Amino acid sequence: MKISVIGCGYLGAVHAVAMAHLGHEVVGIDSDPDKISSLSSGNPTILEPGFDILLKEGLNSGNIAFATDPEAARGATVHFIGVGTPQKAHSQAADLTYLEGAIDSLLPHLRPGDVVAGKSTVPVGTAAGLEPKIRRAGACLVWNPEFLREGSAVVDTLEPDRLVYGLSSEESDSNAGREALDECYEAPIAAGVPRLTMDFATAELVKVAANSFLATKISFINAMARACDATDADVVRLAQAIGMDERIGHRFLRAGIGFGGGCLPKDIRALQARAGELDLRDSFRFLAEVERINDGQRTRTIDALAELVGGLKGHKVTVLGATFKPETDDIRSSPALGIAASLVARGARVTITDPAASGQDVLAQVAGAEFSVQTDDAVAGADALILCTEWEQYNQLDPERIGGLVGERVIVDGRNALDPASWKRAGWTYRGIGRR
């Protein structure tokens, strides 16, 4: 099947190479000529395990090509829309400018019988608003939300835990959309991946509901971490115990400095904004509290560090990690950078280190800090370390060796990823989140 993917950012690029790997003929389209040039040359534009392999595989097989001109989509049967829907400036609502632009650029190149498949995360009601113009072009619309996790996005695309199809109320369009997606995902379906069909509105809500639930779970365990701090309890053991309840589960029960990235923060805000438009603000007021707890984790962590070193002004603090999670170079809404910026504002001398993030991009967000790729250089002479991103190389640091490089042996484990006992044996003052 010939497929186009409109938008070659994180979502679109991963989806494009994955579809090529499944044997489809794919063209990835993006308005950024530098991005298209890099991808066409086999140079990954994102850090994602396995992406580079699938990109080179697709180019070598001829199954994938990239272009800036939307006309390149002509002749494809299914057109996936994977552009960003960022938060609007000065508003909680999602900005649909890129989505609407992608649809408008595609319309002249659609043929009767084509299928447009939306993958972008959108406010409920978006698909119903887009459907008439797509139908006028002779095509039909489906909504096929993605559930990718950065760091495992390739696997999540090729081996998803479910496939969600939001289908038109028009029977002919519904059948056409379902059949087209079934052909796209023939391999995962044959492997037993559940396929769920539903209306547009339900499909749109699935993604924001999932992300809002996960954000709530993270903020819940962080609230419990505060209770543990106040009572000398251990949130790690607490999470282990409650996670054994099959109704709860262990995932997303790690206390820390909070969630970030390009999805959870914007999606819970967009849901609150849409709830307000639907006169449902009271029903979703709890999400504001979820976000308040999340943001408060950063302040509490900084306060804990200040207590340990006797104030921050003039002290050198090394921030271990800049990305919002390991195995990615994504620094969007990264808690690490929020903490680093606050440390600078409170007078600390801050050095940030990360194995994947761009130092230029990091320093553009944290003015007044320094950046070092090399961990040893970053920690040299530090009065305190704070672990903000649980990269494996930080989790495996030798506390005795690192202790010989720093000025003072003080560490705040912002991800509860370290073994407190080993650091304490090496003479470190250790502080975790909801554990000591």
Q: How far is Cα 160 from Cα 167, in angstroms, rounded to an integer?
A: 19
Of the pLDDT bands very low, low, confident and very high (cuts 50, 70, 90), residue 428 is very high
Residue 419 has a pLDDT of 97
Q: How far is Cα 436 from Cα 431, in angstroms, rounded to an integer?
A: 5
For the stretch 10-28, pLDDT in tens is: 999 999 999 999 999 999 9
DSSP letter at 280 equals: -
For the stretch 219-272, pLDDT in tens is: 999 999 999 999 999 999 999 999 999 999 999 999 999 999 999 999 999 999
One CATH from 3.60.110.10, 3.40.50.720, 1.20.1440.120, 1.10.10.10 for 214-431: 3.40.50.720
For the stretch 111-160, pLDDT in tens is: 999 999 999 999 999 999 999 999 999 999 999 999 999 999 999 999 99
- Percent pLDDT > 90 in the chain is 100
Q: Domain boundaries in the chain?
A: 2-193, 214-431
b/e string for 4-17 if b means 16 or more Cβ within 10 A?
bbbbbbbbbbbbbb
Contact at 8 Å (CB) between 254 and 239? yes
Average pLDDT for 402-410: 98
Q: What is the pTM of this model?
A: 0.94
Residue 317 has a pLDDT of 98
| Active-site residue (options: 8, 140, 184, 263) | 263
Residue 208 has a pLDDT of 96
Taking each continuous run of H as one helix and of E as one strand, the counts in the chain are 18, 14
436: pLDDT strictly greater than 90: no
Q: Which residues are bridge partners to 431 per DSSP?
A: 412
Average pLDDT for 47-62: 97
Contact at 8 Å (CB) between 422 and 397? no
Q: How far is Cα 402 from Cα 379, in angstroms, rounded to an integer?
A: 8
Q: Which residues are bridge partners to 50 per DSSP?
A: none
Neighbours of 194 (CB within 10 A): 11
**Mean pLDDT of all residues in the chain?**
97
One CATH from 3.40.50.2300, 3.30.565.10, 1.10.3720.10, 3.40.50.720 for 2-193: 3.40.50.720
Catalytic residue flag (residue 263): yes
For the stretch 273-321, pLDDT in tens is: 999 999 999 999 999 999 999 999 999 999 999 999 999 999 999 999 9
Helix 51-61 to helix 10-21 angle (10° resolution) is: 50
For the stretch 3-12, pLDDT in tens is: 999 999 999 9
